[in-house]
Chains A and B, each alone.
Chain A
Amino acid sequence: MRLNAIWVYLASQPLLWLALTVTLFWLARRLYLAVGGLALCNPVLVSIAAIVCLLLLTGTGYQTYFDGAQFIHFLLGPATVALAVPLVQQLPVLRRSLAPLSVALLVGALAGILSTVALCWLLGVDGRTLLSLLPRSITTPIAMGVSDQIGGSAELTVVFVVITGVLGAAFGVPLLGRLVRSDPVAGGFALGVTAHGIGTARAFEVNEQAGAFAGLGMGLNGALTAVLIPLVVWALGLQGAA
């Protein structure tokens, strides 16, 4: 009974979920290093799975969890601003490669949007889910805004954004093979364009230059896709489908 009272007290405190999030992530990262960077053991994936299990086992609601975890979530803002620092250190490369970067950005953004539309049509995914899936490759705050604007569900979009990020981080480097290491500009940029902040975090683990260009890809793709998606939705008449 005593233990139960302690649990009831702890579970009502933001500190419990804050401490658990940080601790589980730390353990997940140690596990990831212990298995030699195996993609399936991606620390974001493992800690999300562990916390989800814990919430389900203890019957805790997401809101209770987020009351504690929001302190970590808040740091995403300053961390996004901080991406400017490694980027400015890459200024000479950036200046030299402006045209290739612009073309690759446009190609990548269109590939992301059109592949989603084509796959949803092929598989028969319903209209509202399709609209929520479209902004899956861009950073959460932009994705939510875009989803709302075109008639999707912003909450669903967040889930798809995080899954895409985790997929990109887990399988991006193995999928691109040696390219990420031999050409960190192209590999990193693609990770940022595809898997936004989570892909960028993974790119920083490969090297500083890959991380810097991933951050650039994330920022530019966010801005471009926010403009492109409403255009594509309008051009293909997708809004009526929802």
Chain B
Amino acid sequence: MVGAIATLLLMQLAGTLLVQFLRLPLPGPVLGMFLLFAWLAWRRQVPEALSRTAQTLLENLSLLFVPAGVGIVAHWHEVAGQAGRITVVLVLGAAITLVTTAWTLHWLLARARARGPRD
């Protein structure tokens, strides 16, 4: 497990350093994700320990957003005046994005499948 944690942290570190030096508009961990993906795709196999550690982390992913979410107490006064309007934008905006993306992809995948499976 220590090896798996080291792998994750090193990829995050590599991503963060690359972002710093190349001035990329991306956060380090997201680039770290692409780096780990490239490495695993090249190896064509995921080490057992890494697979287990990743699964444990991702099963509890929701918990990790709680501290940032509580931050709403610190900024409430800034939005209190237009809270109702902002809520409408957030709810409708999320619904539009979600439905548009899901149905576009669903339709395109179905069309690709209908044109004949090549494999």
Instruction: Judge whether A158 is part of the interface by a CB distance below 8 angstroms.
Output: yes
A85 touches B46 (CB 8 A): yes
* B106 and A183 within 8 A (CB): yes
User: What 0/1 readout, one digit per residue, does chain B (83-109) give for beta carbons within 8 Å of chain A?
Assistant: 001101111111111111111111011
B65 and A162 form a contact (CB under 8 A) = yes
Binding site secondary structure of chain B = helix
The 4 tightest CB contacts between A and B, nearest first, are A108-B101, A141-B27, A100-B108, A190-B102
What residues make up the interface of B, taking CB atoms closer than 8 Å to A? 5, 8-9, 11-12, 15, 25-30, 32-37, 40-41, 46, 50-51, 53-55, 57-59, 61-75, 78-79, 82, 85-86, 88-106, 108-109, 111-112, 119
Q: Known: A111-B96, A111-B100, A185-B105. Contact between A129 and B59, CB under 8 A?
A: no
**A158 lies within 8 A of B65 (CB):** no
In angstroms, Cα B53 to Cα A74, docked, is: 16
Q: Is the CB of B67 within 8 A of A70?
A: yes
Q: B72 near A164 (CB under 8 angstroms)?
A: no
| A residues in contact with B46, CB < 8 Å | 85, 88-89
User: A interface vs B, CB < 8 Å?
Assistant: 21-22, 25, 29, 43-44, 47-48, 51-52, 55-56, 61-62, 65-66, 69-70, 72-73, 75-89, 91, 96-97, 99-101, 103-105, 107-108, 111-112, 115-116, 119-120, 123-126, 129, 133, 136-137, 139-142, 145-146, 149, 153, 155-156, 158-169, 171-172, 175-176, 179, 183, 185-187, 189-191, 193-195, 197-198, 200-202, 204, 211, 215, 217, 219, 222-223, 226-227
Kindly state the separation between the CA atoms of A126 and B81 in the bound complex, as whole angstroms.
11
Contact A55 B73 (CB under 8 A): yes
Candidate in B15, B64, B103, B104 with the most chain A CB atoms within 10 angstroms: B64
B61: chain A residues at CB < 8 Å are: 79, 197, 200-201, 204
Would you call B25 and A227 a contact (CB within 8 A)?
yes
Please measure, in the bound complex, the distance between the C-alpha atom of A171 and the C-alpha atom of B96, giving whole angstroms. Answer: 12
The answer to whether A189 and B101 touch across the interface, beta carbons within 8 angstroms, is yes
Are B26 and A226 closer than 8 Å at their CB atoms? yes
| Interface contact A79-B64, CB-CB below 8 Å | yes
Chain A binding surface, main DSSP class: helix
Q: Is the CB of B29 within 8 A of A77?
A: yes
Task: List 13 other contacts, CB 8 Å, given A48-B70, A62-B71.
Answer: A22-B63, A48-B66, A51-B66, A96-B112, A108-B101, A112-B96, A119-B92, A136-B90, A155-B71, A158-B71, A162-B71, A201-B61, A226-B25
Which of chain B's residues have a CB closer than 8 A to the CB of A165? Answer: 65
CA distance A136 to B26 in the complex (A): 15
CA A101 – CA B43 in complex, angstroms? 24
Partner of A97, one of B26, B97, B98, B109: B109
